[in-house]
Amino acid sequence: MPQENRLILKFADAPGYTSDIECYLRNDGYEALKKALAFAPKALPDGKSMSGPEQIREEVKASGLRGRGGAGFSCGLKWSFVDRKSGKPIYLICNADESEPGTFKDRQILHKDPHQMIEGMIISCYANDVKLAYIYIRGEFPEGARILNRALAEARARNFLGKNILGSGYDLEIHVHRGAGAYICGEETGLIESLEGKRAYPRIKPPYFPAILGLYMCPTIVNNVETLCAVKHIITMGAAGFAKLGTPNNTGTRIVSISGQVRKPGYYEVEVGKATIGELINDFAGGLREGRKLKAIIPGGSSAKVFKAGEKFKLKRKDAEGKEIEVETDVLDLPYDFDSLMAAGTMSGSGAIIVMDDSTDIVEALANISEFYAHESCGQCTPCREGSLWMSKALNRLAHGEGRKEDADYLLRIADNIPGGRTICAFGEACSWPVQSFVRKFKDEFVAKGAEAESRRSASIGAGPRSEMKIAASPRSD
């Protein structure tokens, strides 16, 4: 797409570009690592000095890079929380679980340009004094794991990994660890448990903040694939160069996965906040099919709160004189960035937009999403374990014509009682947000489905005793 600004995917789809190290080296591969390793200690005005790794950490902080895995937390700030005084080893884990429904960006990097991620990872490890790092890849990506293992062997053979990397005195080893295919393994503390060989039960924070008590109870950094790639570009371009891309507080580029009822579903890399949701859907993804109207948009992976077509939001903006004003903004005119989506009550999450047109049965769509969350809850917390299942059952019966008018309120009552600190991890929010937003924004459709089912049932009760028996055996009984 001409409107794209490909930084991370610059070469990924170029003709003849392969995942081989030779190809990567021909395109300035591992030059950023050489630059990072060559950062000399810098004298500070107070007479102290700043080491090369410290300077890299400062660059990453100054670049404004925000994590691309979901929460959009500042990468530099996350690194600054690492306990460097514990005397324990510091670990870094690349989160390549990519399991949020609708998201398919990390796998493009892993398959098409694995060395870019490995280079970003080595630089990040060097910056944080990490000697042992892991790539946690989801079980359903066997090809990705094979490509990564080959790429790591190539990097080792060239001394970009291993002992005394490029004569710098720095040692690092990276291992690939394959998950067994569970969504909760993408949650960083569940991932850490899984990497330790246990069931992926998330840990409670506090005290188990990975930066302090992570892998093997040692300080640990968990970063997404795309975040680690961005680190390489920050070193190449400098923090200021990177921050020129995107918009203030939303710097760099972002790979957006667009799926659903659009003509050209796919992944598109854009400067953060430079394209609106409408542009992404209509210009990049080709818009809706002929004769269809927009109904709903999930903006950040299936756990993000849904938008209804035509929704308006009040966004804070600066006028020509720099005064803060509120501007009414249609959902399609929202800039696709972390802050605008948060101001609109949702999130850009994993950067995955799912588009639904007017042919979508909204109850069925939510039933589908909720079934996924009910299946994936790890089961440690009662509100999440029971609530996700109750919501899924209620939605299934509604979608299958067995519901009740009150189901909409019943669903909201459950969904409102899961999030807000009642669960160990943010999965509680992830399973409730779709229900809260779908039911509140499309309530008439949920009520109508329940009412329709009730009137069909009362009509069939009048038809004789056999029908009554059928109702007694309806799934509501559980």
In the complex, the residues that contact ligand SF4 under the rule CB under 6 A are: 184, 202, 377-381, 384-385, 423-425, 427-428
Closest CB to ligand FMN among 99 and 276? 99
Closest CB to ligand SF4 among 352 and 425? 425
Closest CB to ligand FMN among 19 and 220? 220
Sign of the Cα pseudo-torsion (370, 375, 376, 378, in order): positive
Interaction partner, residue 378 (ligand SF4, ligand FMN, none; CB < 5-8 Å by kind): ligand SF4
Interaction partner, residue 139 (ligand SF4, ligand FMN, none; CB < 5-8 Å by kind): none
Query: Taking Cα atoms as reference points, which of 318, 324, 317, 315 lies closest to residue 344?
Result: 315
Give the burial string for 30-41 (b: 16+ CB within 10 Å, else e): bebbeebbebee
Contacts of 421 (CB under 8 A, 6+ apart): none
The residue with tokens 């797409």 is: 1
Interaction partner, residue 107 (ligand FMN, ligand SF4, none; CB < 5-8 Å by kind): none
Closest CB to ligand FMN among 268 and 373? 373
In 3-state terms the chain splits into helix, strand, coil percentages (rounded to 5) of 45, 15, 40
Expressed in angstroms, the distance from the first to the final Cα of the chain is 51
Q: Cβ 319 to ligand FMN, closest distance in Å?
A: 33
Q: Is the peptide bond before 41 cis (omega within 30 degrees of 0)?
A: no
Residues that bind ligand FMN in the complex, under the rule CB under 6 A: 67-71, 73, 78, 95, 97-100, 184, 186-188, 222-224, 227, 425-427, 430
Interaction partner, residue 398 (ligand SF4, ligand FMN, none; CB < 5-8 Å by kind): none
Q: Cβ 247 to ligand SF4, closest distance in Å?
A: 33
d(CA 353, CA 296): 10
Closest CB to ligand SF4 among 151 and 381? 381
Three-state DSSP state, 278? helix
Closest CB to ligand FMN among 17 and 208? 208
Q: Cβ 378 to ligand SF4, closest distance in Å?
A: 3
Interaction partner, residue 222 (ligand SF4, ligand FMN, none; CB < 5-8 Å by kind): ligand FMN
Q: Cβ 471 to ligand FMN, closest distance in Å?
A: 37
Sign of the Cα pseudo-torsion (98, 103, 106, 107, in order): positive
Interaction partner, residue 224 (ligand FMN, ligand SF4, none; CB < 5-8 Å by kind): ligand FMN
Residue 129: CB atoms within 10 A of its CB come to 15
